[in-house]
Structure 1
Amino acid sequence: MRIIMTSKSLGEVKVLPPSYINYMEQEWRTLYESFETDVPIDAISLKEHGCMVCIEAGDKPLFRNNNAE
């Protein structure tokens, strides 16, 4: 599991496919733009808002769907 709190931590993720990293960077920019702030994107942290989480192969599920077969 990778927890993303800042653009720096997003840049440090090396184990995910480049296409997924590009997607996450686009999502990060969308979040940044939604904050409507003059703070540079590299200074933004999701600490007060939550975080982005990337589940990886082998991670245990965070919840269990009892209806799944």
Structure 2
Amino acid sequence: MNLNGIFPIIGRNGAGITTFLRIMATQLLPTEGSGDINDKDVVLEADRVTQEIAVVPYEARLLP
């Protein structure tokens, strides 16, 4: 996925969108496969990926 804009991710409930977004946002490790953002692996280069993305959750939560 190259980040040259805003991309909608659409699907039904239970389609795995939240899991996909959490993996791409480096908040969850994939059980198989891999994810890249701007040619950076979201697992191996998580620090660099998080500098290039923004995550805006739908629900506000307080971190412990």
TM-score by length of 1: 0.33
Higher relative contact order (CA 8 A, sep 6+): 1
**Larger Rg, first or second structure (1 or 2):** 1
